[in-house]
Amino acid sequence: DAGVIQSPRHEVTEMGQEVTLRCKPISGHDYLFWYRQTMMRGLELLIYFNNNVPIDDSGMPEDRFSAKMPNASFSTLKIQPSEPRDSAVYFCASREGQRGPQYFGPGTRLLVL
């Protein structure tokens, strides 16, 4: 079975540009999570969805960040405009039900110059 798929795996962009990260969850999973990881702050939950509906976006840093889940098999995380402090690894994860474990994608390494 395919795991969580993320694209791109690496992204280098210049400050001010728009960045779009993509995620395909594991088929049948009804929860989808977006995380950011840096050395300084560790793993931070940005937002999560249940059945395509955003449930908790309190971790989204500011209005420059937005996330959508138009259907059960696709989600995007957009940063517009990007800033150097957004440089991090962004992980997507999915989960079936409220009690089971999450499964992470390989991450997108974002570098904003």
Partner 1 sequence: RKEVEQDPGPFNVPEGATVAFNCTYSNSASQSFFWYRQDCRKEPKLLMSVYSSGNEDGRFTAQLNRASQYISLLIRDSKLSDSATYLCVVNGGSSNTGKLIFGQGTTLQVKP
One-character DSSP codes across 39-77: TTTEEEEEEEEETTEEEE-TT--STTEEEEEEETTEEEE
Binding string to partner 1 for residues 47 to 66, with x set by CB under 8 A, is what? -x-x----xx----------
Pick the piece of the chain touching partner 1 (CB under 8 A) from 15-23, 45-53, 67-75, 79-87: 45-53
Which residue's entry shows tokens 């690496």?
10
Question: Site size for partner 1, by CB under 8 A?
Answer: 21
Closest CB 21 distance from partner 1, rounded Å? 14
